[in-house]
Amino acid sequence: MTQGIKDKVAIIGMGCTRFGERWDMSCEDLMVEAYKECIEDAGVDKKDIDAAWWAALYSMQGFTGLQLSQTLKLQYLPVTHVENACASGTEALRGAAYALASNCCDMALAVGVEKLKDVGY
């Protein structure tokens, strides 16, 4: 009997920012806030992360993986930036899960961020 991806991959930590109008926070600030909570929740060190996938909706389209690695100070980490409209965060999680399931890495980070606007109408 073959094993599915659910038998090979586990989510060991997560972080989430507070929802709302966060005028005082940039996309980068939101990434850092969620990342710190995730690392603490998982009880791991950033050196344990082998690869990362990240997604941003609308306001940060066209950026590369460098945006994540510089913001979170994850030097020399392979980062893949994915975009899939409103499913971008899920696409990042899917990419990380498939890398883990295929034994391409032992620990992966998936990050999704969305900040539609910084000013009111």
| Backbone phi, psi, residue 112, to 5° | -125, 135
Please state which CATH class domain 26-114 belongs to.
Answer: alpha beta
Surface-to-core class of residue 109, CB atoms within 10 Å of its CB (0-12 exposed, 13-18 middle, 19+ buried):
buried
Mean pLDDT, range 85-89, rounded to an integer: 88
pTM of this structure: 0.86
Helices (H) and strands (E) in the chain, counts: 3, 3
Token pair in block for residue 89: 């965060």
pLDDT of residue 56: 82
Q: Where are the domains of the chain?
A: 26-114
Query: What's the rounded Cα separation, in Å, for the pair 47 and 12?
Result: 16
Give the rounded percent of residues in the chain with a pLDDT score beyond 90.
55
pLDDT (tens digit per residue) in 41-70: 999 999 999 999 999 875 555 667 778 888
Give the rounded percent of residues in the chain with a pLDDT score beyond 70.
89
What does the mean pLDDT of the chain come to? Answer: 88
Nearest by Cα to 113 from 70, 66, 53, 45: 53
